[in-house]
Structure 1
């Protein structure tokens, strides 16, 4: 619970269009149900859902128009509350665009972003058409103008600390190197060797507040099954060449707790929950006698 002197807004944002995968919607709904109850205000972004919906590539971004509508609504909900802290339960990774943009404007150079993810999310429509892979690049004030219009205070590369990124593409690797971005690999997290780098980042950048993005795909499929890469309905090899998470829940919690001990957490976004077993059971129940309509 938030203290009486601060205000936390919980934003439920079951966006699926940014990853062009209907399962993100149900994943976000279940995530919101699983999350501890809160006495803080809760808002839900209106997200249309029909499994028959097919999204088109609109000038480089799949589902561009509906995404901008949803992002606009999320921005309006945040502006209505003017919170000190934000919790975001998504949906695909694009759900953190307006919440983190708001926190960047509010806390300015005091804010650092801990990006716990297997992927750097710095694509533009020139490299990829799914907007969930563009979110951090947009937060840096770069990329498609329909996304960057929501970012009034771009986040500097030096204010970002990656945890869990691995096996990035050549384009991604070149971008991270060119911006001298701090990247903590899964091996360093597993061994504990990341701590000096994390502490140095917080001290050097004078970070007082943290916004933490947690993409659940940073977890390994061996330790957590509700991930894109465990989709039982796609042919083997569908995700070949795409980086997969290598961490356990305990390792992720360790990184976040170490960071939270050194700076005040003002934002937490959780995304990309894909509970295939629950989704399959939901569909099965809908076809059983006395349960189906």
Structure 2
């Protein structure tokens, strides 16, 4: 099932509230339009269209109540289809929470997660108010209860590899070290991703869920991500790590792991199509269109 078939559920999930960033909504819809035709069922998780109303901060989490509602809706959709594999088009990184939790329940300790991301996403509301930075920690069973309650079978650290990560924040580095999570730097990915391949061969997993945060890409070369926002200042994003890989690097990595393990989960997240967004806003003010 590394190739999609009739048992693959394609889940379009235009969630933007996890990152408190409305352009993720358009990003998910464009991914759905760009993706090859689906051979199996396609479902969309209901997500409110962004408005000018700010998300409320609820118990240290931005948009908590709406995120909980979306979690439940995603669960119901997946349970109804009972798929053998799931492809997710997001949306912010939190879109992987429910699908990967469901796959973990289905495949148990035979499931591994390859998290292709510049950031580990293991924070909690104590460090950061936006839940898209909490998702991998929640999948392990750590963090806010409204997220961890969606994970019936937490994923062991030994079954997780983060590829493309560099310069984690102090809390993130401590969490990774404390739990012994495997990592692979951008340079190691370019050099053949030996830490990833070694992990695949020694971990005892049979099937794989891959999370691809487009932020892992170099913003100088791929422009539809957060860090490529037009007119951004050097320090606009809190001086967190920015992507260093390119599309060929990611494709090579994914193709290599596919030779070793069956892929049953695939997420693409954090698509921010700035040019399309600005063009959309411009057309609202064009005669006979807006």
Q: What range is the shorter-chain TM-score in?
A: over 0.9
Q: Match for residue 109 of structure 1? A: 109
Q: Match for residue 146 of structure 1? A: 146
Unaligned segments of structure 2, at least 5 residues: none
Please, what TM-score do these two structures have when normalized by structure 2?
A: 0.97
Q: Match for residue 281 of structure 1? A: 279
Residue 110 (structure 2) pairs with residue 121 (structure 1): no
Q: How far apart, CA to CA, are the structure 2 residues paired with 1:285 and 1:236?
A: 29
Q: Match for residue 224 of structure 2? A: 226
Q: Is the 8 A contact 2:8 2:86 kept in 1?
A: yes
SS of the counterpart of 1:11?
strand
CA drift of 1:19 comes to: 0.2
Q: Deviations over 1:188-218 (max 9, x none)?
A: 11222x22x2222122211110000000000
Q: Match for residue 155 of structure 2? A: 155
Q: Is the 8 A contact 2:163 2:196 kept in 1?
A: no
CA drift of 1:237 comes to: 2.2
Q: Deviations over 1:94-134 (max 9, x none)?
A: 00000000000000011100000000000011111100000
CA drift of 1:178 comes to: 1.1
Q: Is the 8 A contact 2:117 2:163 kept in 1?
A: yes
What does 1:1-293 align with in structure 2 at a 5 Å threshold?
2-3=4-5, 7-192=7-192, 194-195=193-194, 197-232=195-230, 234-292=232-290
Q: How far apart, CA to CA, are the structure 2 residues paired with 1:201 and 1:22?
A: 36
Q: How far apart, CA to CA, are the structure 2 residues paired with 1:286 and 1:70?
A: 29
Alignment length, in residue pairs?
A: 288
Counterparts in 2 of 1:175 and 1:255: CA distance versus 1, 3 Å: same
Which runs of 4 or more aligned residues in structure 1 lie more than 3 Å from their structure 2 counterparts after TM superposition?
Answer: 1-4, 233-236
Q: How far apart, CA to CA, are the structure 2 residues paired with 1:82 and 1:233?
A: 45
CA drift of 1:177 comes to: 0.9
Q: Is the 8 A contact 2:25 2:50 kept in 1?
A: no
Q: How far apart, CA to CA, are the structure 1 residues paired with 2:76 and 2:133?
A: 23
Please, what TM-score do these two structures have when normalized by structure 1?
A: 0.96
Q: Deviations over 1:69-117 (max 9, x none)?
A: 0111001000000000000000000000000000000000111000000
CA drift of 1:230 comes to: 1.4
Q: How far apart, CA to CA, are the structure 1 residues paired with 2:169 and 2:234?
A: 21
Unaligned segments of structure 1, at least 5 residues: none
CA drift of 1:233 comes to: 5.4
